Amino acid sequence: MKQWGFWSVLAALAATAWATSADSRPPACWPRFRGLEGSGVEDGKPLPTAWSKTENVLWKTAIPGKGWSSPIVWGNRVFLTTAIPDGAVEAPWVPETMEDNGKGYPTTVEQRWTVLCLDFRTGKKLWQREAARAVPNWLTHPKGSHASETPVTDGERVYALFGNVGIFCYTVDGKPLWSRRWGPAKMIFNWGTAVGPAVVDGRVFVVNDNEEKSWLLCLEAQTGKELWQVERDEGSNFCNPVIWRNALRTEVVTAGSRVVRSYDLDGKLLWQLKGMSYVTIPSPFVHRGMLYIASGHASGPIRPIYAIKPGASGDISIAGGATSNEWIAWRDSQAGPYVPTPIGYGDRIYSLGDSGILSSFDAATGKPGYRQWIAHGPTPITASPVAGDGKLYCLGEKGNMVVVEAGPEFKVLARNDIGEDTLATPAIADGSLLIRTLGNLYRIGKR
């Protein structure tokens, strides 16, 4: 208890730092994948429990093309990306065999990589900008898209990354400011790319991990000028970096299948951690002052979740069968999900598997709680859970959202269905949820 009390003090100090910087943030604020610090949590206003394609729908806007990036929000603006094909949009399909899963999916028509901005209040399109166009000469995952990277905003500019194309910066009003392009690189299993950028203190961070040459790039947010670049001994990854602004320092944390690494804002390696699964897809996230990292590919012997304390340095890998060390508060070697990022809410960590199994753990100690199957039907899950107003929101791939009461006891509050393909992680802003489907963006709220 004394040790957890110390880390609680650090968490409070970190929260104070965030509160100071939050003075300039609007009430509706979900500026990156899974919101602030990648936490997936937005409390403060009541959120809806039940809805349908018509009930509690504040607005619904058709989105051209195909993209599984998540919507982000800053004030009265919603930003998202898409790839508009020269022809019909094809729905995702689930590979029937592992061989099919590793083949990749070819694209034979021209794609227009596009950034969209909608009015948060009405859903009306405010602007649309074409970033680039070409016929892709690379493959994607059969369920994927050419616009799977979630953009990020600092309230002044929006930064849209298309992994095999480049990064494009606009003002929040849609004025193009700068761009940087690069060529495609081979990805494991020909799955394409999915890693969005991160931004903090006037700097933009881009992680490009692939099978050829991996790197972390830091750009000046205002101009796009390169500040530094470091090479990474890392293979393909699909997890977003997170900015960990703790009470001791600010870190750029990049998960990886070989090594998890944390850098300072000047590119200096602070610490690293070995012991992840074969392919890493869940993104790091921050909860109550600690950093949580997970991976869960089914082919390996380990599918871990780690809880990491602030201030680590050097190699913090756990030796042998240990479950903790100086810098790791706890590890569960079999709790990590394959695709969805876990979430911390209250004093619990929740891990949602792509098969629909929801598990809970004590956030401080890692002690397991319940383990329940929540999916209705054989629908897999790709989107990460989000939380607020005492509820967890777990979205399946066919528009089916299970709402679970947060806490140590398992209780389903509602099962909602909008009947459309849904692989993108929802956003929460100003008492409402933004749910992206294959062809639409819904804003769900109490009417």
Q: How confident is the model at residue 20 (pLDDT cuts 50, 70, 90)?
A: very low
- Amino acid at residue number 427: A
- Chain mean pLDDT for the chain: 93
CA distance 182 to 46: 43
Tell me the mean pLDDT in the region 176-201: 96
Residues 250-262: tens digit of each pLDDT: 999 999 988 999 9
Q: How far, in Å, CA of 271 to CA of 260, rounded? A: 8
Q: Which residue's entry shows tokens 């340095």? A: 313
Question: What is the total count of domains within the chain?
Answer: 1
The structure tokens 């806490």 sit at 407
C-beta neighbour count of 266 within 10 angstroms: 11
Residue 269 has pLDDT above 80, yes or no: yes
Four-CA torsion 260, 265, 267, 271, nearest 10 degrees? -40
**Which has more pLDDT, 374 or 377?**
374
Q: How far is residue 245's CA from residue 428's CA, in Å, rounded to a whole number? A: 21
Q: Please give the residue that has the higher pLDDT: either 412 or 88.
A: 412
> What mean pLDDT is predicted for residues 229-233?
97
Does pLDDT of 337 surpass 90? yes
With H, G, I as helix, E, B as strand and everything else as coil, classify residue 10: helix
Q: What does the pLDDT read at residue 108?
A: 84
**What band does 447 get if pLDDT is binned at 50, 70 and 90?**
confident
Mean pLDDT of 68-87: 97
Q: Is the pLDDT of residue 401 over 90?
A: yes
**Any idea which residue has 């949009």 for tokens?**
89
Report the pLDDT value the prediction gives residue 320, as an integer from 0 to 100. Answer: 85
Cβ atoms of 424 and 413 closer than 8 Å: no
CA distance 328 to 170: 39
**Mean pLDDT of all residues in 121-128:** 99
List pLDDT tens digits, range 162-173.
Answer: 999 999 999 999
Average pLDDT over residues 366-386: 91
Percentage, residues of the chain above pLDDT 70? 92
pLDDT class of 97 with cuts at 50, 70, 90: low
| Confidence check: pLDDT of 377 > 50 | yes
Q: What is the mean pLDDT of residues 340-359?
A: 97
Q: Are strands 77-85 and 111-119 parallel, antiparallel or unpaired?
A: antiparallel
Alpha carbon distances (Å) from 299 to 346, 353, 368: 32, 15, 23
pLDDT at residue 18, rounded to an integer:
45
Tens-digit pLDDT profile for residues 190-200: 999 999 999 99
Domain around 253: 2-95+102-445
Other Cβ atoms less than 10 A from the Cβ of 50: the count is 14
| pLDDT exceeds 90 at position 389 | yes
Helix (H) or strand (E) holding 98: helix 98-101
Overall average pLDDT of the 216-220 stretch: 99
**Residue 96: predicted pLDDT:** 61
Q: What does the pLDDT read at residue 98?
A: 56
Pick the residue with more confidence: 297 or 424?
A: 424
Q: What is the pLDDT of residue 142?
A: 87
Q: What is the mean pLDDT of residues 302-329?
A: 96
Q: Retrieve residue 101's tokens.
A: 């899963």
Measured between alpha carbons, how far is 65 from 61 in angstroms, rounded to an integer?
13
Averaged over 17-30, what is the pLDDT? Answer: 69
CATH assignment at residue 262:
2.130.10.10
Q: How far, in Å, are 83, 251, 273, 312, 343 from residue 241 at the CA level?
A: 23, 10, 15, 17, 15
Q: At residue 12, what are phi and psi to the nearest 5 degrees?
A: -65, -40
Residue 23 pLDDT level (bands cut at 50, 70, 90): low
pTM: 0.93
